[in-house]
């Protein structure tokens, strides 16, 4: 049920649009400026397309294309002209927007960053991609966690980017922090189509959350991105799905109130709750332990796969990137949300 793609918006609903943006070629500051204006124009198209749309979502690489170019001349900053233009577009068209930038990082490689900007031009969520798509992508691994913000009509939003969605832990972290709608933006190409679909569905069902996911679309003369805008309900079913037409905007109404109802009322398959309350029919409150050795080992700094010695690709040299010499600098406070205030309190 998507309210006919959001045409029939309910009092409790939120209407999203996913832009299957034509894959660009961006190699110069002039091309970067032109692509910025093109994205802003499509914010206007989204508003004209549906007057009651609350949030328009652009895919990863919408601004920079798939070149993986780290040229400082085309990297962005939070206070730069590209972000300023996105803010102005959201204000002009009275709509929230989700945008992608490759962000300059004075300490190392650029970040692959995502922003949610509200209809007053305020950045409400800022995220750095935790899992760059190795060995293809040169971006610095994210270090500000998985933030959640309150979006239009009170919906709790999280953003994960592309390869992030292949790790079930990412969507679980978003849900654990309260997300009711998990956005996933990507630049994926056709070989990933099947994995894209099943992970969008499983991320939704395993966390009793909606997923709203979109890729770049069309060809840049070298790569062919797949589009595949997709909304999945919290029971894992696909609600609305786009195809491969560039610049098509896929829309749906999502109902966060039904997510809240399911998380509170479901017994069977209330997976986020039952993870920490194993077997509560047999023992009071369920088993509240951590039986997963991979979790214990990650926290202790000793995570190691049984087949680790046989792994052959461990840096980006196969894709033309020099093997790095720097070590990861560790987590940093999110500059827009240093306290992570939406982290839920721990149960006694």
Mean pLDDT by runs of 10 across the 348 residues of the chain is: 81 97 97 98 96 97 96 97 98 98 96 98 97 97 96 98 98 98 96 97 98 97 95 98 94 98 98 97 97 97 97 96 93 75 47
Peptide bond into 135 cis (omega under 30): yes
User: Cα(148)–Cα(127) distance, rounded to whole angstroms?
Assistant: 9
- Residue given tokens 């750095």 in the structure block: 128
pLDDT for the residue 6: 86
- Maximum Cα interatomic distance, the chain, rounded to a whole number of Å: 65
User: Cα(252)–Cα(347) distance, rounded to whole angstroms?
Assistant: 35
Task: Please enumerate in sequence order all residues whose Cβ is within 8 A of that of 320, keeping only pairs 6 or more positions apart, or say none.
Answer: none
Q: Which CATH code of 3.60.110.10, 3.30.70.120, 3.80.10.10, 3.40.1190.20 fits the domain covering 3-274?
A: 3.60.110.10
Task: Please enumerate in sequence order all residues whose Cβ is within 8 A of that of 3, keeping only pairs 6 or more positions apart, or say none.
Answer: 9, 10, 13, 15, 252, 253
User: Cα(28)–Cα(39) distance, rounded to whole angstroms?
Assistant: 17
55-57/96-103 β-pairing: parallel
DSSP 52: T
pLDDT for the residue 240: 97
- Residue given tokens 């299957």 in the structure block: 20
Annotated domain spans of the chain: 3-274
User: Cα(348)–Cα(132) distance, rounded to whole angstroms?
Assistant: 36
Tokens representing 120 are 């007053």
pLDDT for the residue 342: 47
Tokens representing 56 are 């328009």
DSSP 57: E
Task: Please enumerate in sequence order all residues whose Cβ is within 8 A of that of 325, keeping only pairs 6 or more positions apart, or say none.
Answer: none
pLDDT for the residue 340: 54
Phi (first) and psi of residue 190, to 5 degrees: -55, -35
Active site residues: 60, 129, 162
DSSP 231: E
Query: Does residue 3 contact residue 9 with C-beta atoms inside 8 Å?
Result: yes
The predicted model scores a pTM of: 0.95
Tokens representing 345 are 């309190």
Residue 250: strand, helix, or coil: strand
pLDDT for the residue 345: 44
Which residue intervals of 211-301 are DSSP H helices?
Answer: 256-265, 271-274, 293-300
């Amino acid at each position: 049920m998507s309210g006919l793609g959001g045409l029939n918006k309910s009092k409790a609903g939120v209407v999203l649009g996913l832009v299957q943006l034509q894959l660009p070629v961006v190699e110069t500051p002039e091309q970067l400026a032109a692509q910025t204006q093109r994205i802003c124009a499509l914010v206007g198209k989204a508003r004209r397309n549906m007057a009651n749309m609350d949030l328009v979502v652009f895919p990863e690489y919408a601004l920079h294309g798939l070149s993986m170019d780290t040229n400082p001349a085309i990297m962005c900053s939070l206070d730069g002209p590209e972000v300023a233009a996105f803010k102005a577009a959201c204000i002009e068209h009275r709509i929230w927007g989700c945008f992608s930038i490759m962000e300059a990082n004075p300490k190392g490689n650029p970040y692959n960053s995502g922003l949610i900007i509200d209809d007053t031009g305020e950045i409400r969520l800022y995220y750095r991609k935790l899992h760059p798509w190795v060995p293809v992508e040169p971006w610095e691994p994210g270090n500000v966690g998985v933030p959640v913000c309150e979006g239009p009509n009170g919906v709790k939003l999280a953003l994960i980017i592309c390869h992030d969605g292949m790790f079930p832990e990412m969507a679980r972290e978003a849900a654990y922090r309260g997300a009711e709608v998990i956005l996933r933006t990507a630049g994926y190409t056709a070989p990933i189509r099947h994995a894209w679909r099943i992970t969008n569905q499983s991320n939704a069902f395993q966390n009793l959350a909606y997923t709203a996911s979109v890729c770049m679309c069309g060809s840049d003369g070298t790569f062919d991105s797949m589009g595949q805008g997709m909304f999945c309900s919290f029971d894992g079913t696909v609600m609305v799905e786009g195809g491969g037409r560039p610049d098509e905007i896929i829309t749906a109404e999502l109902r966060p109130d039904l997510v809240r109802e399911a998380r509170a009322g479901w017994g069977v398959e209330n997976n986020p709750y039952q993870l920490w309350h194993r077997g509560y029919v047999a023992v009071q409150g369920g088993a509240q332990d951590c039986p997963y050795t991979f979790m214990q080992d990650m926290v202790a700094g000793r995570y190691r796969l049984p087949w680790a010695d046989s792994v052959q690709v461990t840096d980006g040299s196969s894709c033309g990137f020099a093997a790095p010499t720097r070590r990861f600098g560790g987590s940093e406070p999110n500059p827009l949300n240093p306290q992570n205030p939406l982290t839920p309190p721990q149960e006694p």
